[in-house]
Chains A and B, each alone.
Chain A
């Protein structure tokens, strides 16, 4: 990619390249003319006047994009379809129909349900329960203190240890977490959320692997190493500046790419950002802009585009607008291909694949009549499968009340298994392909996402759009408007604001394990006492210097883990060296 190309927007680059394409249209003009005549007659003679007047309807859903839909779609909506250029066969550019030629016939979507609560042994039990019941991947969620990089003995952690995720403070906790689990065999999605936390926490997993004699080159899984989460989405009392956060993110990427080659070093967000409060269009635009910022930085650091891109992955939220969810997955696959091919000149097809893990939308699930949520999640999961995703977590019916109980967790897993084994859907690749509606909506989604990418580029790119508060304001406006729409009943949610029955109030919810906080505190106290504190100080000092001198931080956080440093101790170094950032306020 020549430097002068940077002046042009991504949309312009793609558009220029598309003009060179040869045309292999699906429809010919004669056919279309005949269809058009029939259609116009039908509109005049058969369609009711009120339907003609309201030809476009706007579905109003939670996290919706308010993209208008026509009453019916015909070949006229997709008359310019060029099969090879816009769709391609599955496993072939532009990958609209899927990244593999055989999709789920070859490899089904990984059934990767999130687990995390209490202490490591509590979570270990649930992980093994799900694996025993057919889960095909591990997906870990950490408690609030661990995610936000506070050790459980920090004043900020008081009362929160083990809530909403598992508490892990140092390598020994990880040993308990992975007790009787073979990390050479099982793939783990380690939801570290932030670049800072990824640098602090992932090394513990790597050091555990070392101690078990499993080479890093064999480890498979992913980390969430995402600046969108650290700087834009999360609530926190302290932030480091965006440019430093981005540096840590890229250090993590380089380190992991070099040393843990089968590991996905980021799952571009995506989910948490959308759930925070935005449409599926903005979700994808921000993730794409982020991906491009990473590629630009990696190239600046002297790396090859393909080397980085072939391991980039995405993580989406799947909401309730059924066909939009399927269509935008297809749109994003095509768009990402075009970006990697035309803007970045990627040589390896794998570099252009929009590989993704998805999670059904948590915010679409409500407190009232909790079992309704099982139905919502099932439809969302179905849309995801029709959209061709690689991996999935299905939220559980008790989402609005607590982390999932064992029973609720099992039902989520069963939802995936029923789709895979009972519906017959997975025997055909891209079953929605060719639908006039789906292809039209896919085109529309691609157009809208690209428009929003251009908006971000106008702000100066992804990092700047976060630093200057543009994305924060945009998101706040969306979530506020949506909340009001829900309260007014414009967005209907059955049982919540439509057909309220008052049922579900007696729901027996999941209980966190008792005394988890006390147990973790005791373990941490022992650990602090028994470790070589001189080695800990030395390692932290070396990390401090590395941060200041622009070295790769993960190389040093790994040494910190080896020496027995805790998550909180590493984060304190980052804060000390990078200083704190005051995030622009939205109100």
Chain B
């Protein structure tokens, strides 16, 4: 039976000081058998560069400072411009007001994991996102 190993990139877009979320989630995803490219703080440019070089299926964005709409839009618009959105899905999580959840999905995030999302839910979200863009790695 083939080993389905999903490769994800975990990052914060911009100078995010808070990292509890990204650290715990990255650790959980690793435990669940995913391959995690941990980038920490980075720009959209660098995240996409690494994502394509590493051939990831999902970009997980951790946002705890309220910049999610702006940085999220920048990420997704850039991906669409470069036609990367067909091969890479994006998931965002963190401190996000309820009224921003749908706008984030509308702009192109596969799912939104607000604060308090449990381990199983995060894993499911990342797996579903990976599924949505095609073949697994073996």
Contacts and interface: CB of A to CB of B under 8 A. Distances in A.
Interface in B87-132: 95-99, 114-116, 118-119
Contact of B41 (A163, A233, A236, A509): A236
A480 B27 contact: yes
A150 B43 CA distance: 12
Interface string B15-48: 1111110111011001000000010111111000
Contact of B18 (A235, A483, A506): A235
A230 to B, nearest CB: 10
Interface string A143-173: 1110110100001111110011000000000
A128 interface: no
A539 to B, nearest CB: 24
Nearest to B43: A155
B42 to A, nearest CB: 6
B14 A487 contact: no
Contact of B22 (A155, A235, A363): A235
A145 B15 CA distance: 6
A362 to B, nearest CB: 10
Contact of B66 (A148, A163, A237, A586): A163
A480 B24 contact: yes
A508 B99 contact: yes
Interface residues of A, number: 49
Given A235-B17, A479-B24, A586-B23, A144 B98 contact: no
Contacts of A158: 14, 43-44, 70-71, 74
A237 B27 CA distance: 19
Contacts of B27: 476, 480, 587
A164 B65 contact: yes
A379 interface: no
B133 interface: no
B67 interface: yes
A157 B41 CA distance: 11
B13 interface: yes
Mostly helix, strand, loop or mixed at chain A's interface? Answer: loop
B118 A487 contact: yes
Given A235-B40, A403-B66, A156 B15 contact: yes
Nearest to B15: A148
A366 B95 CA distance: 10
Contact of A400 (B16, B45, B95): B95
Contacts of A480: 23-24, 27
A157 B15 contact: yes
A507 interface: yes
B34 to A, nearest CB: 13
B72 to A, nearest CB: 8
Interface of B: 12-20, 22-24, 26-27, 30, 38, 40-45, 64-67, 70-71, 73-74, 95-99, 114-116, 118-119
Given A159-B67, A163-B67, A401-B96, 18 more contacts: A144-B14, A144-B16, A144-B17, A156-B14, A158-B14, A159-B14, A159-B73, A160-B15, A164-B65, A235-B41, A236-B15, A276-B19, A402-B66, A479-B24, A480-B24, A484-B119, A504-B98, A509-B98
11 contacts: A144-B65, A159-B67, A159-B73, A163-B65, A237-B15, A479-B24, A487-B118, A487-B119, A508-B99, A586-B23, A587-B27
4 interchain residue pairs of minimum CB distance: A159-B70, A235-B19, A148-B15, A509-B97
